[in-house]
Every structure is written in structure tokens, then in C-alpha cells.
Amino acid sequence: MAFLSLLSIVALSVFFHGVTAQTSTTSALPTSTAVVEGLNYLARNAGKKYFGTATDNPELTDTTYTSILENYEMFGQITPGNSMKWDAIEPEPGVFTFTDGDVIAELASSNGMMLRGHNLVWYEQLPSWVTDNNYNATGLTEVIQTHVTTEVAHYKGQPYGQILIHVRHAWDVINEPLNDNGTMREDVFYNTLGTSYIEIALTAARAADPNAKLYINDYNIEYVGEKSTAMQNLIKSLQAADVPIDGVGLESHFIVGEVPTTLVENMQAFADLGIEFAITELDIRMELPETAELLEQQKTDFYTVVNACLSVSQCVGVTVWDWTDKYSWIPSTFPGYGAATPWDDNYQRKPAFDGIAIALEGQSI
């Protein structure tokens, strides 16, 4: 046994040495080779409602960026990265600033894209007046109701832009309510109102726009584990109390080579609750620098995630958390990591693009 192990170690080191040598003589990293219609075109062909992306207002001045973003064949759904969050929409009590959010809503509508409102009640990007005013339960209930009602009513099925298409829209009504161990996150909403803040927000959203799909969105609920179980229990308790809830958002911020192996099993558990769900913020980051091997693994990883969505019919679509590395949030949030999206900094499609396309075409990688 000892002899065999030693042999394997020698063989492994030769193998890795060979790969290293090969990589160092190759100057260009691999890129996409797929020749396909756009990803939204493929997603709709595959029976999904959309393939979409997050975007943000500052990058809309980049015309190369917008020329790809506004291609409906490529993206059929848009999520605003920041401009519909509480601090942007209601910076002072009762003072609503919809300007930047409207730009994204009009972009979606004028291109026939679906809009995912993001988000209504979240512990972050919250103006200090919400957290620091020591509202009691009655006061904070009114604050939530005013915020949710006013924002959802504003974006309710409005005929933005020039093309009057009835856009199916969804709201991340509640964002990231759970701790990783499955307990409720202790933020101003929970500490003042307990779990009832979720019902207050969902009920107000349904009343303001009966046609919008109402979601709870979170991370680390993409795989079987205590946080996902806690989310399922939360959904069940809302359903038992007749609180309106239509779906769960699986954020899906993954790391190359570490995509969970229980994606499909976990998705089926949400589907079994009689709700829809979506992959809402997909990116798959790698430790920099990029290498050919990491980019190939990333292709496999994107394939795995999109293929999981295809295998469960209640998965309505996939949204990437922006589509080019140029505008990805990853490098600033996870120092040392990056290259998390299907297009590189120079708008070249990466192998990851092919991984998505191959999955949407129903083929094996």
C-alpha cells in the first residue's frame, strides 16, 4: 500500500507539473466557442420564463454594455442592483425618489423584459431613520406598510416606455430574513415586530399589486441544510396563516469548484410546497488570477446550476448578478476573488457562457 501511495503521489505531481507547464506556455485564456441564439431565447425555448440579469444605473452610460443588455434574445428579465432598495426609494420618511428605479423599469418595459423589483424589506441599505427612530410595533408597522404600498403601487404594471407589453413582474418583498443557522435575523424589523413583519410586508404588497409574484429571497438556501429547512418551514407557516407568498429566490452566489451537490434535491423540496422559485443572483467567483483550468471548471459549474433549474419545472428562470466581470460586485466585496460572470471585462464571452448555453440547449457538457 505504501508503495502504491508513493507511486500515486509521483504520478499526481507529474500530472500537475504537466498542466502547469502547458498553461504557462499558453498566453490567451480560453473563450466561448458556442454559436447560439441568445440565452433568453434558449431559456424560453426550454420552457423557462426568462434568462435575466441584474443591472445598475451607473453602468447604463456604457453603450457597449447597453447594446448587449438591451438585446431581448439575450436577456428577458432585469433586476435593479440598487435603485429600488429602501435607501434609494425612501431616503426620508414619506419622501419617495423613484427616478433611478424608473430608469431600470423603463429599460425593462421598452425592451419587453420582465422586471424583478428588488427589494422591499431588508436589513441592509436601510436609511438610518428606519433603524434609529425607536419605532414601537405600531409605528414600524405603519412605516413598512407605507414603504411597501407606495413602492409596489408605483411600479404596478405601468406601461413604461413605448412598447405596451404586459410585463410579468415579481418582487423580492423580504430579503435575507434568516441567519445561516436557520434562526430569524435580528434586525430592526424582527426585534420590533417578531416574525409578523414578514406577513405585514407580504400582505401590503399583495394589496398594492395583486398580479405581482411575491418572493422571499435569501442565500445559502440553495442546498440541503438547516437554513433551507428553516426557509421551507417559514413558507409553510405563512401558507398555514393564508399569508400571500408565491415564490422563493435562491440567490446562488457560488465559488468555482464548490457548487453544492444537492441543488436539485433542494429545489424539489421548495417545489413540493406548491410555490415557484427562481435563481435570482447567480455568479460563480474564483480566486484570482484566472487560469484556463478555473475557467473550464466555471463552465461546468454554470452548466450544473442552469441544468438544475431546467430539471425542476417550478424553477421559472435564472438571473445572473450582472453579466460582465466589468461591473460585477465580487472584487470589491470578496477581495482576491473575481471573474464571476459569463462575460469578461472586455465583453468577450467566457467558457461559462457556453456552460449556460449547453444546459439551456438540453445537451450534456
Catalytic residues, by residue number, are 176, 281
Nearer to ligand NAG, 187 or 354 (CB): 187
| Residue 89 to residue 122: CA distance in whole angstroms | 13
Residue by residue, what is the 3-state secondary structure of 202-213?
HHHHHHHCCCCE
| Residue 340 to residue 301: CA distance in whole angstroms | 11
Nearer to ligand NAG, 30 or 182 (CB): 182
Nearer to ligand NAG, 56 or 226 (CB): 226
| Residue 129 to residue 274: CA distance in whole angstroms | 38
| Residue 115 to residue 107: CA distance in whole angstroms | 9
| Residue 90 to residue 147: CA distance in whole angstroms | 7
Query: 180 CB contacts (<8 Å, ≥6 apart)?
Result: 220, 227
Nearer to ligand NAG, 23 or 183 (CB): 183
Identify the burial level of 225 via C-beta atoms within 10 angstroms of its C-beta, where 0-12 means exposed, 13-18 middle and 19 or more buried: middle
CB-CB neighbours of 103 under 10 Å: 16
CB of 220 to ligand NAG, least distance (A): 12
Instruction: Tell how far CA 309 is from the center of its chain.
Output: 13
CB of 196 to ligand NAG, least distance (A): 15
Give me the sign of the Cα torsion angle 326, 332, 333, 334.
positive
Nearer to ligand NAG, 143 or 201 (CB): 143
Nearer to ligand NAG, 20 or 183 (CB): 183
- In the complex, the residues that contact ligand NAG under the rule CB under 6 A are 136, 138-139, 179, 181, 183
The DSSP line for 91-147 is SBTTB---HHHHHHHHHHHHTT-EEEEEEEE-SSS--HHHHHS---HHHHHHHHHHH
40-to-159, 276, 296 alpha-carbon distances in Å: 22, 19, 22
Report the candidate in 6, 76, 84, 3 with the shortest Cα–Cα distance to residue 41.
76
Q: Which three cell numbers stand for residue 349?
A: 464571452
